[in-house]
């Protein structure tokens, strides 16, 4: 009876260890070979819900493969490798202890099968092959793993191998592994379903999941990874969803698979009621990858002509002679012009005397300069026309000067037409000049109306009728035919803009569109007139800004990376 009561009391105490302390904020550590630690977070916000020894550095065991897979997914997304890339198995990878896929040294296998074996079966040889294939050696790969851990905020993690077997200096914490599990869920949703598979084809064999018991027993569980070594105990990082709520939790130091699963189920059951049903989702920031860039500068060797001065002569090339000023040109022409031979001078004085009864004027002195001929100025409005008697002295003086100098020139050239409106005296003088210049023709008589009014119009040809033809464009002489048909060459509005930038892959189109809209509002000055576009790919919905040229796309990516945003240049 005493033994029965003792067993009943022990069972009640064990149940209290698992359930009651969860509500009080602490959990008793069961007897185990490794220290116990636990951490539960709200996956939507990253806020802690429960913690116990969450920052204690412990052996993570095969939870290490979560970071190995994260590195592989990152390399695929950046285009360094592909799922069908074939990796050669080294002797080191082939000789890893179990659990293993059974790979042979020198064997070649696709990366997709190595990922399945590492994620589902937790194969150590597959994990080592992934690390060596991505970085060239396991040492280089573990350095990259540690650097990635720092970029993700896992400040208490350090890695010495890709599979997680116990090694000095290889450690992590329950908090850090929960953070890593959250990044796997949000950063690579296209690969996350791999952690919920019960079995998969690994190329050389069909493998079964090490986490299938917890996936089958706990409703809503969909991952993530188990781990076990003697020094670490039984570890598990799990993710589960109920309605709008999602939790990610990690347990270190379980005594067995059943105990580990039972503790994890108790932690999740106690934590779901403690978080709100609807909260604002805060996605984790993608790690900013530091890329070392090399700037090349062109150096040109100095030539002797550039470093040693050499006297040079300036030679003025032949050029046209400068144009002379108008006054100087007139004088030069007067000097250079050949003398005009004298011609018989008609009796201009007699003709003028007969036309206007002009008295004889004294002859101009020889060699005197006088104005040969010019138009008379117009009369002021309202002034009376001068009479023939008043104009006689002026005509007489003009005749005296013109007779000496203008007669030879007028004999060799045609006279200009007189102004339409002239006074009576001027008309008479003009008639006399015309009669003198063309004696064979009949003298022109002024109209009677003109003589009475003092002003008149000389006879002139009637103006030509205005043409009704409208000249649209001037053409060259002889180019009167129809012009040849023009070939119109056009190009699309986005010609030369066949580049864009990719800012991430999302599980749904609505999420990708929301992210594009948010970035356009925040970084509109960087993206300019880029057009938002969501591409449906096998990995998910790729959010892109397109309609950029190459230079604009590269500049936009550099500026986005400087703001800790993921970005890659794409060409269409």
How many CA atoms lie within 13 Å of 62's alpha carbon, on the beta-carbon side?
Answer: 28
- Give CA torsion, residues 385, 389, 391, 394, to 10 deg: -160
With beta carbons less than 8 A apart as the criterion, state whether 129 and 137 touch. Answer: no
Residues with Cβ < 8 Å from 570, sequence gap 6 or more? 499, 500, 501, 502, 544, 553
With beta carbons less than 8 A apart as the criterion, state whether 144 and 135 touch. Answer: yes
How far is the C-alpha of 350 from the C-alpha of 289, rounded, in Å? 113
User: What string of DSSP letters covers 241-306?
Assistant: EETTEEEEEEEEEESSHHHHHHHHHHHHHHHGGGS-SS----PPPPP-------------PPPHHH
Please state the length of the chain. Answer: 572
Beta strand spans in 167-268 (E): 199-201, 206-208, 221-229, 233-242, 245-254
Kindly list the catalytic residues.
Answer: 62, 65, 122
Q: Is 100 annotated as a binding residue?
A: no
Q: Is 110 exposed, middle or buried (0-12, 13-18, 19+ CB in 10 A)?
A: middle
Residues with Cβ < 8 Å from 141, sequence gap 6 or more? 71, 131, 132, 134, 135, 162
Residues with Cβ < 8 Å from 55, sequence gap 6 or more? 156, 173, 175
Residue pointed to by tokens 């006279």: 415
Q: At what angle do helices 64-77 and 138-152 cross, to 10 degrees?
A: 90
Which two structure tokens, joined as six digits, stand for 326? 């108008």
Binding site for substrate, by residue number, is 225
């Amino acid at each position: 009876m005493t033994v029965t009561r003792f067993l009943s009391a022990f069972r009640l105490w064990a149940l209290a260890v698992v359930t009651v302390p969860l509500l009080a904020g602490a959990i008793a550590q069961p007897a185990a070979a490794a220290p116990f630690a636990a951490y539960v977070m709200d996956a939507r916000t990253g806020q802690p819900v429960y913690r116990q020894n969450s920052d204690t550095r412990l052996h993570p065991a095969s939870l290490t493969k979560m970071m190995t897979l994260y590195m592989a997914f990152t390399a695929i997304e950046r285009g360094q490798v592909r799922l069908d890339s074939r990796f050669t198995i080294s002797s080191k990878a082939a000789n890893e202890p179990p659990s293993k896929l059974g790979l042979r040294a020198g064997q070649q296998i696709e990366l997709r099968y190595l990922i399945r074996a590492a994620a589902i079966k937790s194969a150590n040889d597959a994990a080592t092959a992934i690390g060596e294939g991505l970085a060239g050696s396991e040492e280089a790969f573990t350095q990259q793993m540690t650097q990635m851990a720092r970029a993700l905020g896992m400040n208490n993690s350090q890695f010495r191998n890709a599979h997680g077997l116990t090694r000095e200096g290889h450690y992590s914490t329950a908090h850090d592994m929960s953070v890593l599990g959250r990044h796997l869920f949000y950063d690579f949703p296209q690969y996350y379903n791999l952690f919920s598979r019960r079995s998969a084809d690994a190329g050389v064999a069909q493998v079964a999941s090490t986490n299938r018991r917890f996936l089958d027993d706990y409703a809503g569980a969909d991952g993530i990874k188990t781990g076990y070594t003697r020094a670490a105990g039984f570890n598990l990082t799990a993710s589960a969803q109920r309605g709008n709520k999602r939790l990610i939790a990690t347990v270190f130091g379980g005594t067995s698979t059943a105990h580990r699963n039972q503790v994890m189920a108790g932690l999740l059951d106690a934590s779901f009621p403690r978080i709100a049903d609807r909260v604002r989702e805060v996605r984790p920031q993608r790690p900013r990858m530091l890329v070392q860039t090399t700037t090349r500068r062109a150096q040109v060797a100095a030539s002797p002509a550039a470093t040693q001065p050499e006297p040079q002569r300036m030679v003025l090339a032949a050029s046209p002679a400068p144009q002379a000023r108008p006054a100087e040109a007139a004088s030069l022409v007067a000097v250079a012009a050949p003398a005009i031979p004298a011609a018989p001078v008609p009796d201009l004085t007699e003709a003028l005397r007969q036309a206007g009864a002009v008295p004889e004027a004294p002859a101009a002195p020889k060699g005197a300069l006088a104005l040969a001929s010019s138009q008379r100025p117009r009369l002021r409005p309202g002034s009376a026309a001068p009479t023939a008697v008043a104009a006689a002295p002026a005509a007489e003086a003009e005749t005296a000067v013109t007779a000496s100098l203008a007669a030879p020139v007028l004999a060799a050239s045609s006279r200009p037409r007189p102004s339409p409106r002239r006074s009576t005296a001027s008309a008479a003088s003009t008639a006399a000049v015309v009669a003198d210049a063309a004696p064979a023709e009949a003298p022109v008589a002024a109209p009677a109306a003109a003589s009475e009014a003092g002003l008149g119009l000389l006879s002139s040809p009637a103006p030509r009728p205005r043409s009704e033809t409208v000249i649209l464009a001037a053409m060259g002489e002889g180019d009167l035919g129809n012009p040849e048909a023009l070939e119109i060459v056009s190009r699309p509005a986005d010609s030369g803009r066949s580049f864009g930038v990719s800012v991430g892959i999302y599980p749904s189109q609505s999420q990708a569109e929301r992210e594009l809209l948010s970035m356009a509002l925040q970084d509109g000055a960087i993206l300019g007139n880029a057009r938002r576009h969501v591409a449906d790919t096998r990995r998910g919905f790729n959010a892109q800004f397109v309609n950029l040229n190459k230079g604009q796309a590269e500049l936009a990516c550099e500026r986005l990376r400087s703001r800790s945003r993921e970005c890659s240049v794409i060409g269409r």
